[in-house]
């Protein structure tokens, strides 16, 4: 945040801010300095370990690279005023950070209510993803969980009626995922190959795929939910669309 705020005082488009978390060894520090030297960089750090701080300062002198100690002056000031000794242990903020626990809770939720398991969990979800098999419901759910959203997902299969709970959820909390049938045919065929099965199975049959998609679209129309086409989208792109949509949902 300090780096971004600093860059905004200049022509920020000229600066790349690269975050390198979990620095734990002298080798990692050396690699970071070599990269910074190659790209004429400045190193801003929040390292609290005395041993690693010494390595960092030595490397800064060796490579003649400017470093900015973000936390050091703050820790020293608090120590001087309070008379207490700092723990000098990395990562302590995560043990107290409420957002961290929300993320863990959301990830556990996504795993527990993945692929239609425990349909009663749908009523507790922030967002419910629906779609046919291989429309990225699970990876999308996990990605959004890291953004602290509790996501459940339900596969839509013509032979299996969707759970009743799905129709008890407000439409604005349901997101339907569709995909081009030919693209899905490719994805499923590759999936069968990795499983050691032939691509002639009904799972990858184009006619079967079209039937599944028509069935899924009919369910989505019945639910009046938003629909996103994931045909040529990366997980991150679809997730951003979902996040933009969720932010507009009335609390």
Q: Please say if the pLDDT value at position 12 is more than 70.
A: no
Structure tokens at 106: 């959301």
Whether residues 106 and 227 fall in one domain = yes
Alpha helices (H) in 149-247, listed in sequence order? 181-194, 206-223, 235-247
Question: Which residue among 33, 67, 95 closes a domain?
Answer: 95
pLDDT score, position 117:
87
Q: Is the same domain home to 149 and 187? A: yes
Quote the tokens at residue 213.
């998609």
Best CA proximity match to 227, nearest among 175, 184, 183, 179: 175
Last residue of a domain, which of 40, 61, 95? 95
CATH code (residue 156): 3.40.50
Q: Which structural domain range is residue 171 located in?
A: 98-247
pLDDT, one tens digit per residue, over 193-250 is 888 887 678 899 999 999 999 999 999 999 999 999 999 999 999 999 999 999 988 8
The residue from 43, 78, 95 where one domain ends is 95
pLDDT above 80 for 188:
yes
pLDDT value of position 224: 97
pLDDT reported for residue 99: 79
Tokens read off for 84: 């207490």
pLDDT digits (tens, 9 = 90+) for 61-94: 999 999 999 999 999 999 999 999 998 887 776 6
Between CA 22 and CA 150 the distance in angstroms is: 26
Indicate whether 144 and 159 sit together in one domain.
Answer: yes
The answer to whether residues 116 and 77 belong to one domain is no
CA-CA distance, 70 to 68, in Å (whole number)? Answer: 6
What's the pLDDT tens digit per position in 110-143? 999 999 988 989 999 999 999 999 999 999 999 9
Task: Quote the number of domains for the chain.
Answer: 2
How far apart are the C-alpha atoms of 23 and 92, rounded to whole Å?
14
Q: Residues 18, 132: one domain?
A: no
**Residue corresponding to tokens 């820790």:** 75
The pTM (predicted TM-score) of the whole model is: 0.63
């Amino acid at each position: 945040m300090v780096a971004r705020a600093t860059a905004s005082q200049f022509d920020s488009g000229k600066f790349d801010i690269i975050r390198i978390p979990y620095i734990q060894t002298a080798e990692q520090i050396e690699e970071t300095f070599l990269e910074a030297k190659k790209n004429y960089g400045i190193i801003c750090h929040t390292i609290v370990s005395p041993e690693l701080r010494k390595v960092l300062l030595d490397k800064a002198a060796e490579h003649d690279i400017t470093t900015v100690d973000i936390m050091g002056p703050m820790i020293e000031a608090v120590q001087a005023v309070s008379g207490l000794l700092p723990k000098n242990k990395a990562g302590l903020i995560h043990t107290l950070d409420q957002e961290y626990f929300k993320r863990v809770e959301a990830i556990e939720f996504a795993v527990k209510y993945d692929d239609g398991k425990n349909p009663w969990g749908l009523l507790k979800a922030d967002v419910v993803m629906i779609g046919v098999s291989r429309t990225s419901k699970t990876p999308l759910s996990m990605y959004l969980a890291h953004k602290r959203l509790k996501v459940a997902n339900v596969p839509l299969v013509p032979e299996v009626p969707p759970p009743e709970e799905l129709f008890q959820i407000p439409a604005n909390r349901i997101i339907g995922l569709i995909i081009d049938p030919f693209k899905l045919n490719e994805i499923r065929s590759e999936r069968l190959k990795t499983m050691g099965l032939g691509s002639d199975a009904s799972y990858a049959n184009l006619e079967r795929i079209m039937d599944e998609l028509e069935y899924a679209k009919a369910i989505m129309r019945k639910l009046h939910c938003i629909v996103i086409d994931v045909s040529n989208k990366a997980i991150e792109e679809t997730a951003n669309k979902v996040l933009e949509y969720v932010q507009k949902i009335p609390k």
